[in-house]
Structure 1
Amino acid sequence: MDSPRFLRRLLPPLVPLLTLAALSTALAPAPRPGAAPAPRPVAAPAAVTFADEFDGPAGSAADGAKWQTETGDNVNNHERQYYTAGNRNAALDGQGHLVITARRENPGNYQCWYGRCEYTSARLNTAGRFTTTYGRVEARMKVPRGQGMWPAFWMLGNDIGQIGWPASGEIDVMENVGFEPSTVHGTLHGPGYSGSGGIGAAHTLPGGQAFADAFHTFAVDWSPDAITWSVDGTVYQRRTPADLGGRSWVFNKPFFLILNLAVGGYWPGDPDGSTVFPGQLVVDHVRVTTGGTQPGGGPITGVGGKCVDVAGANTANGTPVQLYDCNGTAAQHWTVGSDGTLRALGKCLDVSSGGTADGTPVQLWDCNGSAAQVWAVPPARDIVNPQADKCLDATGGGTANGTRLQIWTCTGAANQKWTVRR
């Protein structure tokens, strides 16, 4: 975006993504030719992996199992508020909303980077409680109006505690600054394209409407190597690695969610005599959905002309995935999910125990939204698990029926090349 944009400091410690424990079973024979053919596929519904409708008594705090509250000021952006704990600046209204309130006050004698703080507000995040890799991430909100107001709904890479910002990546689903009442911004920040150099675009309401006048739904639809922004279902930008000019795309990994209302800062400027307090960001819901698939799909073929096959057409968690003669059965019918999953028999292709080491086997497992079940299929015909940065691989380059599939460092060899039918 054109306006200045600087690092937002994450205040609490981060909790790394937990990997899923998985079972391991012996190979079972694939169904013989003549077994029942794959049924005609239908679109699979998306799974809601996170939802907060903010139902609860007026004055109660946000659900602590879903959100943690940050405290402190933010010198990096030169914001003016102090983020408080408790429910004074972030509370349910009893009508199905979370209300984040910015006030011109300082009852706790809070100290900010510039001296005694002039304002209080709130910032909540899901670090340590929820992360997602891909899917549809949306919030329905009504923003405040007024010079100096800076509401935002955004995401940070869950590895920020290990590698820092901007290497962790940041996805701004929605930002609004008070001097642009009709406009919101969506932006990517990463190594070499952060701050005012972020990659993004703006969306402006027609006819002089202001976003503070009504609720609007802000969303990103996020898949391997692609993110699309929309407002009320209207798409206004799509970004892929091609937009980064050779810089690193850092968005194929888990991210957590953030809601906040800042006051002042480099970009929005400070409040002035026209700004009315308190200002409120009213959030109707936050949802993350993953796993929708499109009708279609078919076999995934690889080395030796063999197909990716669920051993014995078994739907149990931990069933091995292997090479086998192509036979047209449901055990070899794979669909590509909008969240980057590969699905057969109602379950997902999964890296055992979320492993990242060479030789970690793959299996069938309940779809759960974890990074162990996310796959990118680039034009080079590799099938890559971004978490491990490794390729789907036929063990030992084998072509025999029953050859187990695994992940391995990408080499470009024939046993890592696949044709995926969408």
Structure 2
Amino acid sequence: MVRPPSSRTLLSIGAALVAVLALLVPMSGTASAAPAPGPLVWSDEFNGASGSAVDQSKWRFDIGGSGWGNNEQQYYTNSTRNAAMDGAGNLVITARRENPSNYQCHYGTCQYTSARLLTSATFTRAYGRFEARMKLPRGQGIWPAFWMLGNDIGSVGWPNSGEIDIMENIGREPSTVHGTIHGPGYSGGGGIGAPYSISGAFADAFHTFAVDWSPNLIIWYVDGNEYQRRTPADLGGNRWVFDHPFFMIMNLAVGGYWPGYPDGSTTFPQTLTVDYVRVYASPTGGPGPSGQITGIGGKCVDVAGANPANGTAVQLWDCNGTTAQSWAWNSDGSVRALGKCLDVTAASTANGAKVQLYDCNGTGAQKWTYNTGTGQIVNPQANKCLDATGGSSANGTRLQIWDCSGAANQKWTRS
């Protein structure tokens, strides 16, 4: 399990138990092929020129050699020697046995470099299909992963933030990947998950790794084949924390308590080759929960004049129980009233962009996530919060998007 630097150190016996527990935990439900996903909401196809860096509007880097809670041995850099396009439509994350800049790790002078990329500052989302097509590395002590962490990790810490491991592989198991969830009371060696094995090695060809994540359900797939699903019923009474936006991480670790360490059989460099990362709306676009959205001053999110015309202002108003204040949260990420969608005018991502009612069109301007912990409603395309202009609670106050601040005019409750 790859950990953020703030997490507790994973004991080696606990790491060993992960694989054992995974083998013992049965899959809930019947395995099946993955359904067709909903509309594409985010992607990176990695079509840059050979040697070019990743798109900084989509990915940022974790830097350092702290061990990352797992006694990992590499120093993560943002160098194109460790993460670059190959010119053939792939991102290549490369672990090298080198130390070109006298990097210092938790154990002394670092022996290896690699890269860890994440979307925490660029894209977060609750629910949908999260998928990557990858060709894995091989070798003792090599540890690739594609995973997610809750975007509230900075305030609540790990594991309260939640962690969804879409794919992890350790070099000594070339034919097996693992999918796991971690949360309060089921983290580290107590993470809940299962393995999936193939007849050959995952390093021999590209494979797709995905989860379908919806309220109270996560389903894992390899190459479109379901192999595990988890619900709150699997947690033994512990809290299900997978109800708010998460961000994605891809990394290639060298060594750690769980995978062990490189030995004489391990060759370098090792590469994790990524064809694409895609995020889709949930496979079904049907309606979810509906009701009022209440904000500052106890006022409701309201369609002005109950007018269903395109461009009608969305505002605050005294709660009155009318259809102009009844909002359905659809699994495609849209929020709907009067048969239209909550929409950011002109698909703007700027502070102060007004929110309106508009024909539903599946674009990023109409995608929203709700965080039950913070009360924030976020438009992932802009990475900004639904905001009552000027902090006002007066009737008629227009709603807009603005940088998330945690202020009262950005806190909402659903009923």
Same fold flag (TM > 0.5): yes
How far apart are residue 134 of structure 1 and its match?
Answer: 1.0
Shift in alpha-carbon separation, 1:104–1:323, aligned structure 2, 3 A = same
Aligned to 1:97, which of 80, 90, 99?
90
Unaligned runs of 5+ in 1: 12-43, 303-308, 326-330, 352-361, 376-383, 391-406, 411-415, 417-422
Amino acid at match of 1:155: M
Note the alpha carbon deviations across 1:216-250, whole angstroms, 9 max, x for none: 11111111221111111111111111211221211
Q: CA RMSD in A?
A: 3.7
Amino acid at match of 1:109: N
Q: Distance between the aligned counterparts of 1:71 and 1:298, measured in 2?
A: 39
Q: Distance between the aligned counterparts of 2:47 and 2:77, measured in 1?
A: 22
Aligned residues: 328
Instruction: Give the structure 2 partner of residue 131 of structure 1.
Output: 124
Shift in alpha-carbon separation, 1:385–1:314, aligned structure 2, 3 A = farther
Conserved in 2, the CA contact under 8 Å of 1:223 and 1:340?
Answer: no
Are 1:56 and 2:48 an aligned pair? yes
Unaligned runs of 5+ in 2: 8-35, 293-301, 345-354, 378-410
Shift in alpha-carbon separation, 1:212–1:9, aligned structure 2, 3 A = same
Q: Distance between the aligned counterparts of 1:88 and 1:64, measured in 2?
A: 16
Higher relative contact order (CA 8 A, sep 6+): 1
Shift in alpha-carbon separation, 1:172–1:370, aligned structure 2, 3 A = farther
Shift in alpha-carbon separation, 1:370–1:363, aligned structure 2, 3 A = closer
Q: TM-score, normalised by structure 1?
A: 0.68
Give the match's secondary structure for 1:161.
Answer: helix
Aligned to 1:267, which of 258, 263, 283?
258
Q: Distance between the aligned counterparts of 1:72 and 1:283, measured in 2?
A: 22
Aligned to 2:233, which of 224, 231, 242?
242
Instruction: Give the structure 1 partner of residue 308 of structure 2.
Output: 313
Amino acid at match of 1:273: G
Give the match's secondary structure for 2:233.
Answer: helix
Are 1:175 and 2:168 an aligned pair? yes
Aligned to 1:278, which of 253, 269, 292?
269
Aligned to 1:69, which of 38, 42, 61?
61
Q: Which has the larger radius of gyration?
A: 1
Note the alpha carbon deviations across 1:115-161, whole angstroms, 9 max, x for none: 11111111111121111111111110000011111000111111111
Q: Distance between the aligned counterparts of 2:121 and 2:313, measured in 1?
A: 27
Shift in alpha-carbon separation, 1:56–1:283, aligned structure 2, 3 A = same
Q: Give the % identical residues.
A: 60
How far apart are residue 274 of structure 1 and its match?
Answer: 1.0
Q: Distance between the aligned counterparts of 2:236 and 2:289, measured in 1?
A: 35
Shift in alpha-carbon separation, 1:144–1:298, aligned structure 2, 3 A = closer
Conserved in 2, the CA contact under 8 Å of 1:175 and 1:184?
Answer: yes
Aligned to 1:8, which of 4, 22, 32?
4
Q: Distance between the aligned counterparts of 1:168 and 1:240, measured in 2?
A: 17
Conserved in 1, the CA contact under 8 Å of 2:148 and 2:249?
Answer: yes
Give the match's secondary structure for 1:313.
Answer: coil
Q: TM-score, normalised by structure 2?
A: 0.69
Conserved in 1, the CA contact under 8 Å of 2:37 and 2:280?
Answer: no
Shift in alpha-carbon separation, 1:293–1:241, aligned structure 2, 3 A = same
Instruction: Give the structure 2 partner of residue 83 of structure 1.
Output: 76
Are 1:201 and 2:194 an aligned pair? yes
Conserved in 2, the CA contact under 8 Å of 1:294 and 1:336?
Answer: no
